[in-house]
Amino acid sequence: MRKLKKNMIRNIGIKKRLILGFAVIPIISMIFIFIISWEQSRNIIKDNIDSYSSEMLNIIEENINLNIAKFEQQLDEVLMSNLIYEGLQKSKIMNQTEEYTFANNLNNFLYSKLHLLSSVGEVEILTKDLSILYTQGFKYFSKSDVLRYSHIAKKTPGKTIWFYTRIDGQGVISMARAIKDPETKLVNGYIFVALNENAFGGTFLNAALGDSTSIVILDENNNFLFGQKDFPYKKHIKLNGDKTIIDSS
């Protein structure tokens, strides 16, 4: 068989061999150029996607920071009410009528802050021993959440603690803060506020980078706050400059 092939090649004249060689070389060159061009195009597209993704993430980050600042400012406004401090001071001595009057007055005050309540799912005000002084509606934060985040808030009075939890099976972004008595400067209560996920532009987060991309917002301890809950954020996370590498193995 080999001899037959060699004989066939030998039977081809030099002119035909040269023509065949000149025909093959351009084809090989074109394939080589195509491979190089394809690789360059792929790198350009990847760089463009990375650049676009980075810009969108910066916009999302700015949007989240603005929302956080807005809600914390609104929480400051709520805590400026003397009603809350008076209620905490008198929590042990109020009779049933006084408790009803306090809750009604606080309801009216909170409803005057419609810009906050439009995104609020639940508000709880607790005494320093974690007894419920006021709650809006009939949903409650779990005892474990109250114990955990009141403890953290007590260590950092004046700072808002953000966390993700579930109330009646629904995921909510929540904030907790210790309430200091304006006279003694001691912590005499806590406020817990649950916000709807759309308070942070949930639709924008879902659609910003397309259907094939997931976005998840974590706290400094890699605990979920909001975004696509099925994102593998509990895998090993490694920060590398501006990029985050998640080991999904």
- Model confidence over 70-113: pLDDT tens digits? 888 888 888 888 889 999 988 888 898 988 898 899 888 888 77
Three-class SS state of 122 = strand
CB-based contacts of 195: which residues, under 8 Å, 6+ apart? Answer: 71, 119, 120, 121, 172, 173, 174, 175
pLDDT band for position 209 (50/70/90)? low
The crossing angle, in degrees rounded to 10, of helices 96-111 and 82-89 is 160
pLDDT confidence of residue 220: 67
Distance CA 103, CA 81 (A): 13
pLDDT band for position 245 (50/70/90)? very low
For 86, the token pair is 């008076």
Alpha helices in 90-219 (DSSP H): 96-111, 114-117, 143-155, 202-207
This model's pTM is above 0.85: no
pLDDT confidence of residue 126: 94
pLDDT confidence of residue 176: 94
CB atoms within 10 A of CB 87: 22
Check whether 195 has a pLDDT greater than 70.
Answer: yes
- Per-residue pLDDT of 22-74, as tens digits, reads 666 667 777 777 777 777 777 777 666 667 667 777 777 777 788 788 888 88
Q: Which of 147, 140, 127 is nearest to 191 (CA)?
A: 127
Three-class SS state of 6 = helix
Q: Greater confidence, 232 or 196?
A: 196
Check whether 12 has a pLDDT greater than 70.
Answer: no
Distance CA 146, CA 219 (A): 18
